[in-house]
Amino acid sequence: MKKVVGILLLCFIMIANISFATTEDVLPISEMGEYDIMPISKEPVDMTGEGYEMINDDVYKMEKQVTIHEIIDGNVYVMAREVRVDNAVIYGNLFVMAEEIEIVNSEISGSVFAMGEKISFSGITNDLYACGSKVDMVADSYVWRSAKVAGETINMNGNVGRNLYAGVNQLNVGDTAKIEGTLQYFSAREGNISDQAQIQNVQFTQDEQEENTQTTTTNYVYEIANIAFQTLLIALVIVFLVGKFKTLKRTDNLGMDFLKSTGKGALMLIFVPILSVVLMLSILGLGFGMIILALYIILLCVAIPITSVEIAYRILGKKEDVKKAVWIGISILVSLVIWGIKFIPVVGGIVRLIVILIGFGIVSSLIFQRNKKEKVNEN
């Protein structure tokens, strides 16, 4: 079964630091234009309830069980065993990874990015990206734009304003389902689609190759575990041992900083192999050339985790009071995102090359940049 759609879900986590909230008033869905973004009010779903709290910042949670029941003017990042977003309002994006995820009667003005074993969505959002063993879009859910979902079993009973893309083993579309655009799904077999479901167009692509789903899933799990472990090691080294990392020259222009790092990385990518070959061709430099080449190969392997740590640092806003565990956790998530990008034809290869170049550039800065005359906070 094709997993491309599912893997695409991961790649959107990377754009968290450029997401913005809207402050417009809520309009009834029937009054919105075809290409409008769902506005969301500054009012919670039920202001008569008790226990509401207004948070004017991004929220990061890494616990065994997490419940979101606040009004949050920012993005939300959650890693836990069980997550419940209950009657909440989020003015940014929601990024969540857990075994069990429930999004109940909540409004998310941006997009929902969910990865877990069981996912249940009954809220309102602009876009939904979900990957899980079982994904339920219940009858009162509404995705204003498009939903991209991957899983072993997908139960669709909600509303989608544009298109629903699914990579699935078993697709079930119920009586209450309404898709204004196209239902496009990839599967080894046709799904169970109710005759009462309101769907403009259905496109079914059957996998030509029969593959062992269990073996494929095991391979993905192994790759994900390997990437997570590799990033964990690199992040631990940088966070705890490389104090100079925090004193690298950075500006508020993220794009320009990464562009400079890409340029430095491109020079290293070309220059270092040439230098190692030149040294190996000389009598006295053979050993040095081999050492440099070995370090170059190692750097190629760890460039992506290094970039992931930098992206996580930027997402956290260079806050000195951020726990190191949160920094490391976000770094792992970003690495998984970058791994997922390789499944995107053409674009995936280009993006990964850029990420590697940025990693080379960061290492170059760590080696050649002089330390700033400022104290590094060892939190």
Question: What are the pLDDT digits (tens) for 79-106?
Answer: 778 899 999 999 999 988 788 999 999 9
Strand partners, 72: 55, 90
| 263-301 core/surface letters (b: 16 or more CB in 10 A; e: else) | ebbbebbeebeebbeebeeeeebeeebeebbeebeebee
DSSP letter at 172? E
Beta bridge pairs of residue 250: none
**What residue numbers bound the domain in which 25 lies?**
4-206
Phi/psi of residue 235, each to 5°? -65, -40
**Position 35 in a domain:** yes
Instruction: Flag whether pLDDT at 157 surpasses 50.
Output: yes
Q: What are phi and psi of 124, to 5 degrees?
A: -125, 135
Q: Are residues 219 and 314 in the same domain?
A: yes
Residue where a domain stops, chosen among 152, 174, 206:
206
Asked if 119 and 198 sit in the same domain, the reply is yes
Q: Is 223 part of any domain?
A: yes
Would 333 be classed as within a structural domain?
Answer: yes
- Provide the sign of the torsion angle of the four alpha carbons 229, 233, 235, 239, taken in this order: positive
Do 154 and 300 share a domain, yes or no? no
Q: Are residues 150 and 284 in the same domain?
A: no
Q: Which pLDDT score, from 0 to 100, does residue 346 have?
A: 67
What tokens were used for 345? 């034809």
Same domain as 176, residue 139? yes
pLDDT tens digits for 257-286? 888 888 888 888 888 888 877 777 776 677
* Residues 139 and 17 both lie in one domain: yes
Q: What is the pLDDT of residues 298-307, one digit of tens each?
A: 888 888 888 8
pTM of the model: 0.51
Q: Are 201 and 229 in the same domain?
A: no
Tokens 């893309």 belong to which residue? 165
Residue 85: per-residue pLDDT = 94
Average pLDDT over residues 109-115: 89
pLDDT number for residue 104: 93
Mean of the pLDDT values across residues 333-358?
Answer: 81
- Which stretches of the chain are assigned E, i.e. beta strand? 54-55, 59-68, 71-72, 76-86, 89-90, 94-137, 142-143, 147-156, 159-160, 164-173, 178-187, 192-193, 198-206
Q: What is the count of structural domains for the chain? A: 2
State mean pLDDT over 39-56.
Answer: 55
The reply to whether 236 falls in a domain is yes
378 domain-assigned: no
Please check whether residues 202 and 108 belong to one and the same domain: yes
Query: Pick from 206, 238, 265: which residue ends a domain?
Result: 206
- Inter-CA distances, 131 with 21, 44, 114, 115, Å: 24, 27, 6, 5
What are the structure tokens assigned to 203, written together? 């496109």
Which residue, 175, 206, 237, sits at the end of a domain?
206
Q: Are residues 31 and 149 in the same domain?
A: yes
Is 16's pLDDT higher than 70? no
**Are 237 and 263 in a shared domain?**
yes
Q: Is residue 377 part of a domain?
A: no
Whether 51 and 189 share a structural domain: yes
